[in-house]
Amino acid sequence: MIIAQGVAKVYDNGTQALRNINLTVKQGEVVFILGESGAGKTTFLKLLLGMEKPTAGELIVAGTSLIKPRAGDIRRLRRLTGAVFQDFKLILGRTARENVALSLRILGIGWSDNRRRSKAALAAVGLADKGDNLVETLSWGERQRVALARAVVREPRLLLADEPTGNLDGASVGYVAQMLALAVKGGATLVVATHDSRLIERLPGRVLVLEQGSLKEAPVTGREQAACGQGGIE
Amino acid sequence: MFTNLGYFFKEAWNDIVHRPVAILFSLISIALLLFFTAFIFAGGEQLQWLVGQLGQEAAVTVFLQEDVARSQRDSLEEELQQLSGVTTIRFVSKEQALEEMEDILGEHSSELAATAGFNPFLGYFEVGVLPEEGVEVAVQAEKLPGVDSVRDNRQTLERLTRLTLVMRLGAVFALLFVGVVMMITISHIIHLGLMAREEEMEIYRLLGAGPWFAALPFLLQGTLLGFSGGLVSFLAAVVTFPILISKLHSALPFLPLQPGMGVALAVGPVLIATGTIFGLSGSLLAQYQARGK
Ligand SMILES: Nc1ncnc2c1ncn2[C@@H]1O[C@H](COP(=O)(O)OP(=O)(O)O)[C@@H](O)[C@H]1O
Ligand SMILES: [Mg+2]
């Protein structure tokens, strides 16, 4: 699903966000990317979605090379991807359900199917009664779950989540973990940028660590380390 | 794409509801612009109609001198009959001429004749001709004895036809001008709409939407705006033209005028088509500008 070879990203202002990333993720695999703030997690996810282009190396996602992609290829990739952005990227002035429904509408899914699935997705993240609320009236934690519902509702083949539990309390983390697990069960490949041990504990997967732009397969102790690190903060 | 058609209309409508004042103002200015061109078109329509009316009766009017004797008149009639291309001949005496004019002009003219105290008209032959031989008949008739003057309505017709063409051309230019102004107005208002939603459209793209997904509601909106402008100006014409033309008719009763409703109905499709076409191109222009960035 994802093949990265020697991928690097240098931003226009000279910041080297990623260096020499080598990674292969198989279809259906679950990958956690840990790392301190500024380590390059968001940048890596942006590369996977074609929002930024690698400045070196080769990157292939879902069979599409993202070095010199065509607009149509990126569109195709994004349609089979569900993404939870760190800043949510919900449309203000619309209700939670409209935001979720948009995700399916772009895929061309008909009105009644769309309505049913959007409702179900919102219910699954514990927002059944908030569907008609405007996004800007929701709390950050609620918005984050709307964003997750929007990503998962399309039953994506690739699910990217950038700190999807960043604003959530314990109960909500449960919803998120369940949703992610469900998507994986449905065949999705999952890449999650997080440093939330509560999530890692609930979802079996491979744990990688980004450190100043370099990716390392976490040692056997990586999981516990991450968990400990997180535990220390709490 | 077609599963989403209802949604696209809804989005277009949402945006209109979102900024009703701006949309209303542009609608009014478009309708006004189109309404003014409607006048030029109506002028051309009227002339065309006049030409049609006059053309049906290709005729040469042969006026007799003041004091032509009955016998001379009869021989003149015979000679006119001989000319090739002549189909009918009708004699109208001085007295009949006065009466006819009174019929056409109505009450006002009998006052005019009364004050004049004498009959200012000449007797004349109204000679029906084959349209293509009208000029030749006129030339020949002028040479006959006892003829005062000849009026060939073909000349008038030709002049009117030329005027009609000029009018039409003017109308087309006016329409193009108005079209371009309209296009700029609409592209501006659509552009504002697009700008206000730039962030939203970026999100559409991140979710894998093609360029048309975000653009179509705005194309619909611009087209709808142009169409409504055309419709409003058409309705304005339907209301005002009959009034204006009946006013004009009572001021110039001898001028054959097409009824106002007929003119409005003839101009209507042009207004609506122009509105729609330039509405669509205006919103396409806005898309094009937006994408250039
Ligand atoms: N658009 C950008 N332009 C320049 N530098 C950027 C941009 N986005 C991120 N960076 C920099 O790249 C590095 C990695 O950032 P990011 O990928 O957001 O890290 P993380 O998500 O792990 O916190 C940071 O030093 C950040 O300042
Ligand atoms: Mg980040």
CA dist list (Å): A184 to A101, A172, A180, A187, B127: 21, 19, 6, 5, 97
Instruction: Kindly state the tokens that stand for B242.
Output: 């009959």
pLDDT, mean over chain B: 82
| pLDDT, tens digit, 9 for 90 and up, residues A78-102 | 999 999 999 999 999 999 999 999 9
Q: How many whole angstroms separate alpha carbon B76 and alpha carbon B82?
A: 10
Q: How far is B221 from chain A (nearest CA, A)?
A: 19
The predicted model scores a pTM of: 0.74
pLDDT at B11: 83
Q: What residues of chain B lie within 8 A of the CB of A75, using their CB?
A: 208-210
pLDDT at A13: 96
What average pLDDT does this structure show over A115-137? 95
- A123 falls within a domain: yes
Total tally of structural domains belonging to chain A? 1
Q: Inform me whether the pLDDT recorded for B3 exceeds 80.
A: no
Q: Do A109 and B204 touch (CB under 8 A)?
A: no
B36 vs A138, more confident: A138
Q: How many whole angstroms separate alpha carbon A46 and alpha carbon A25?
A: 16
Grade residue A229 by pLDDT with cuts at 50, 70 and 90. very low
Q: What is the percent of chain B where pLDDT is above 90?
A: 14
Q: Inform me whether the pLDDT recorded for A170 exceeds 80.
A: no
Pick from B32, B143, B122: which is nearest to B24 by CA?
B32
> Pocket residues for ligand 1 (CB within 6 Å)?
A 11, 13, 15, 17, 35, 37-43
pLDDT at A227: 47
| pLDDT, tens digit, 9 for 90 and up, residues B221-273 | 889 999 999 999 999 999 999 998 888 888 877 777 888 888 888 889 989 99
Grade residue B127 by pLDDT with cuts at 50, 70 and 90. confident
Instruction: Kindly state the tokens that stand for B223.
Output: 């087209």
Q: Inform me whether the pLDDT recorded for A213 exceeds 70.
A: yes
**Residue A41 Cα to ligand 1 middle (Å):** 8
Q: Which of A73-87, A140-154, B20-34, B225-239 has the lowest mean pLDDT?
A: B20-34
- In B103-219 the beta strands, taken as DSSP E runs, fall at 124-129, 147-152
| pLDDT, tens digit, 9 for 90 and up, residues B52-74 | 777 666 678 888 887 778 888 88
Q: What is the CATH number of domain B58-152?
A: 3.30.70.3040
pLDDT at B149: 82
Asked if residues B45 and B258 have their Cβ atoms less than 8 Å apart, the reply is yes
- A196 falls within a domain: no
Task: Give me the residue from B200, B202, B207 closest to A106, CB to CB.
Answer: B207
pLDDT at A34: 93
The CA-CA-CA angle for residues B49, B55, B61, to 5°, reads 130
Grade residue A221 by pLDDT with cuts at 50, 70 and 90. very low
- A128 falls within a domain: yes
- In chain B the beta strands, taken as DSSP E runs, fall at 59-64, 86-92, 124-129, 147-152
Three state DSSP letters for B10-63? HHHHHHHHHCHHHHHHHHHHHHHHHHHHHHHHHHHHHHHHHHHHHHHCCEEEEE
* Range(s) of the domain holding residue A146: 90-153
Domain residue ranges of chain B, discontinuous segments joined by +: 2-54+157-292, 58-152
Grade residue A198 by pLDDT with cuts at 50, 70 and 90. confident
Q: How many whole angstroms separate alpha carbon B166 and alpha carbon A220?
A: 90
Q: Inform me whether the pLDDT recorded for A234 exceeds 50.
A: no
Q: Inform me whether the pLDDT recorded for A218 exceeds 90.
A: no
Q: What residues of chain A lie within 8 A of the CB of B200, using their CB?
A: 91
- A102 falls within a domain: yes
A&B contacts, CB < 8 Å: 43
- A50 falls within a domain: no
| pLDDT, tens digit, 9 for 90 and up, residues B178-198 | 889 988 988 888 888 888 888
What average pLDDT does this structure show over A190-210? 91
Q: How many whole angstroms separate alpha carbon B46 and alpha carbon B164?
A: 9
| pLDDT, tens digit, 9 for 90 and up, residues A32-67 | 999 999 999 999 999 999 999 999 999 999 999 999
pLDDT at B293: 58
Grade residue B122 by pLDDT with cuts at 50, 70 and 90. confident
> How much is the ipTM here?
0.90
pLDDT at B56: 65
Index of the ligand 1 atom closest to the CA of residue A36:
22
Distance of CA B239 to the CA centre of its chain: 16
pLDDT at A232: 29
